[in-house]
Amino acid sequence: MRVLAAMSGGVDSAVAAALAVDAGHDVTGVHLALSPDRQTLRSGARGCCSVEDAHDARRVADELGIPFYVWDLAERFAADVVEDFVAEYAAGRTPNPCLRCNEKIKFSAVLDRARALGFDAVVTGHHARLAEGQLRRSVDAAKDQSYVLAVLTPTQLAGAVFPLGSMTKERVREIAAERGFAVATKADSHDICFIPDGDTRGFLARRLGEQPGPLVDATTGETVGQHSGAYGFTVGQRRGLGVSAGDQRPRYVLGIEPVTRTVTIGTADLAGVTEVRTGVPTWTGPAPVLPLRAEVQLRAHAAPVPCSVDAVPEGLVVVLDEVQRGVAPGQSAVLYLPDAARGDLVLGQAAVLRAG
């Protein structure tokens, strides 16, 4: 196959590209320049992650002896991922930008362009298994990224190759070290890539400005405090509410109402939910017959919960076997069929509308 290896400059995508070469594919490396700050790309300023990551990716490509190019997707990324991220928070929801990037950038803009240029598939360093069109969890449960890939359609998955799904992150680093890649010991990226300092609330405050509103106690209906922007909160959040309740019991964010900027808080017993309503689902394969029994994961890195899923006019209703907290509108509910031997099968996902 002629494949395009998306190379971020990190260890995972470097090893994925190397394994694609080993597998006998005709591999071309491409680094996606996503930084909305175009100036840093040109100036080559020290400390600019984009420039240094591009350099790291290029070093690996040169060692592999494969062509390497940088594709400028900054405008698409800003429009489809960053603006979406800001708009979702402004609407009181909690988006997942990595999922959006996979949906709109890596397996849409990049894959479409790759196909038009004569490539058969895009290779990435995601930790997930993909065989015979079936997307499954990585063998490395801690590094599994199937949650942020669950939005991909069969057509998109047909043009994706994930060489790392059957190995642990530790093994990935070993392979990188064996090959002498300088990125073998490079730190994992955890943060949202366009918020390098990790201060999401500060980023949103700069984009959306101060939007003060009340903090309301769900039980009494009383205003118990003020906040400077509802976008600084996520449903299920416990820390940083800035209120102290007389009873010393912890309070959680229960709801965010963007028009009146009201953030509702309450005690743990009120924060639990057993039923999740979603929008229209996307499926990674043929649409399953509903209702069905499955497991649902309600945010990145959350533990999956056994559930029953059925169709409703607006999308899905997911009834949880166990009470969950922190089910935030905007997050994806990803449905899995448990399979210990081959890896849990990803059925698909749908955006959470509300939970109760």
Dihedral (CA of 233, 203, 298, 309) sign: positive
Closer residue to another protein (CB): 50 or 237: 50
Should residue 72 be labelled a site residue for another protein when binding is judged by CB under 8 A? yes
Q: Are the C-beta atoms of residues 28 and 69 closer than 8 Å to each other?
A: yes
Should residue 44 be labelled a site residue for another protein when binding is judged by CB under 8 A? yes
Catalytic residue among 48, 98, 101, 307: 101
Q: Is 193 a catalytic residue?
A: yes
Q: Are the C-beta atoms of residues 266 and 218 closer than 8 Å to each other?
A: yes
HSE on the CB side for 220, CA within 13 Å? Answer: 8
- Cα–Cα distance, 73 to 137 (Å, whole number): 28
Closer residue to another protein (CB): 70 or 300: 70
Closer residue to another protein (CB): 103 or 140: 103
Cβ of residue 12: shortest distance to another protein, in angstroms? 21
Mark the segment that binds another protein (CB under 8 A) among 84-92, 106-114, 318-326, 329-337: 106-114
Cβ of residue 193: shortest distance to another protein, in angstroms? 15
How far, in Å, are 37, 276, 313, 337 from residue 309 at the CA level? 43, 10, 13, 12
Q: What length does the chain have?
A: 356
Q: Is 101 a catalytic residue?
A: yes
Should residue 59 be labelled a site residue for another protein when binding is judged by CB under 8 A? no
Should residue 83 be labelled a site residue for another protein when binding is judged by CB under 8 A? no
Should residue 325 be labelled a site residue for another protein when binding is judged by CB under 8 A? no
Which of 113, 186, 201, 325: binder of another protein (CB under 8 A)?
113
Which of 25, 31, 129, 277: binder of another protein (CB under 8 A)?
31
Should residue 51 be labelled a site residue for another protein when binding is judged by CB under 8 A? yes
Cβ of residue 125: shortest distance to another protein, in angstroms? 20
- Cα–Cα distance, 47 to 68 (Å, whole number): 22
Mark the segment that binds another protein (CB under 8 A) among 17-25, 115-123, 231-239, 240-248: 115-123
Should residue 120 be labelled a site residue for another protein when binding is judged by CB under 8 A? no
Mark the segment that binds another protein (CB under 8 A) among 41-49, 175-183, 223-231, 333-341: 41-49
CA angle 349, 352, 353 (to 5 degrees): 140
Closest CA to 181 of 45, 60, 58: 60
- Cα–Cα distance, 264 to 248 (Å, whole number): 18
Closest CA to 30 of 106, 127, 131, 103: 106
Q: Are the C-beta atoms of residues 305 and 324 closer than 8 Å to each other?
A: yes
Q: Are the C-beta atoms of residues 143 and 129 closer than 8 Å to each other?
A: no
Cβ of residue 202: shortest distance to another protein, in angstroms? 26
Contact residues for 341 (Cβ-Cβ < 8 A; gap 6+): none
Q: Which residues are catalytic?
A: 101, 193
Given the rule CB under 8 A, which residues bind another protein?
28, 31, 33, 41-42, 44, 50-51, 54-55, 58, 67, 69-76, 109-110, 112-113, 116-118
